Structure 1
C-alpha cells in the first residue's frame, strides 16, 4: 500500500504516527496542515491552491503517508488512497494532550492575559466538540460519514496506544494485506 492517509481528531496523533511510519517504511510523510495553511494556524490557503499543491505532491512523491484531516476541502482526494488509518482516543486524554502541546508551542502566551489566550480558548472549545458534534464541524460523525464513501480499506486504531504500539499495528496490518489477506478477514 503506497498511498496511506491517517486521520482523526486534533490531538489524536496523526502527525506523530505518520512521522514514525515514515522512519520504517519507504514512504515520505506529507501533512495536511502544510496544504491547508498559508501561514501556520493563522491564514488559510484558498481551497483551489490547497488542492493544486496537494494533488501535485500526491502524484509525484509516491509512496507517501498523508497525515491530518482533508474532509470537506479534500473530498475529491478519496480515490488517491490505498489505505485510510483512523485514529481515536478518549476525549479526556486527547484534550490533555492538546493542552500540553499548545503550552509547549506557545508557552505563557496561552494563559489568561497572554496574546494567544482567546485564540487558544476558541481552539480548545472547538477540539472538545469532536466526539459530540454533528457534521457541521470536524467531528467523529463527519469523519465516519466521510469514510463511508471510501473505496479503500480502513484500519481503525482506537484507544490510548503508544506511538510504537500504533506503528506495530500498522506494520502487522500491512504484512497481513501483502500476504493475501483481505480487509474483511
Structure 2
C-alpha cells in the first residue's frame, strides 16, 4: 500500500523492541514506542502505519485519515479515521499480507 501510494511505510514492530543481541528480547516502553512512532509520522505529510498496537498505541490513530484492515484472506475493511475527511494521505493497516 505504501509503495503504491508513494508514501513512507512505518511498521510498529520496528519500534516495539529495543535493539539487543540477541534481537527481540527486550520490549521498549509503550511511552517510548508512541513517542518514536509519532515523531516518524511528523516527518512526512503522508504515511502508512502497519502492525498491531492494541492496548498501547491509541494516541497514534489521532492523525489517521483512513483505516484499512486486511484479513488473512485478503479481504479489506475500510473506515474513516479520527482525523476526518480530505484526501487519504495517512493510513493504518491492521494487517499487511501482500504488496
TM-score, length basis structure 1? 0.37
Q: Which has more strand, going by share of residues?
A: 2
Is the contact between residue 29 and residue 64 of structure 1 (CA under 8 Å) also seen in structure 2? yes
Distance 1:41 1:61 in 2: 27
1:163 equivalent to 2:98? Answer: yes
Q: Deviations over 1:98-141 (max 9, x none)?
A: xxxxxxxxxxxxxxxxxxxxxxxxxxxxxxxxxxxxxxxxxxxx
Structure 1 residue runs of 5 or longer lacking an equivalent are 1-20, 91-149, 154-161, 165-185
TM-score, length basis structure 2? 0.65
Cα shift at 1:78: 2.0
Is the contact between residue 26 and residue 63 of structure 1 (CA under 8 Å) also seen in structure 2? no
Give the structure with higher Rg (CA).
1
- Corresponding residue of 1:42: 25
- Corresponding residue of 2:34: 51
Is the contact between residue 36 and residue 50 of structure 1 (CA under 8 Å) also seen in structure 2? yes
- Corresponding residue of 1:100: none
Q: Which has more helix, going by share of residues?
A: 1
Structure 2 residue runs of 5 or longer lacking an equivalent are 74-80, 86-96
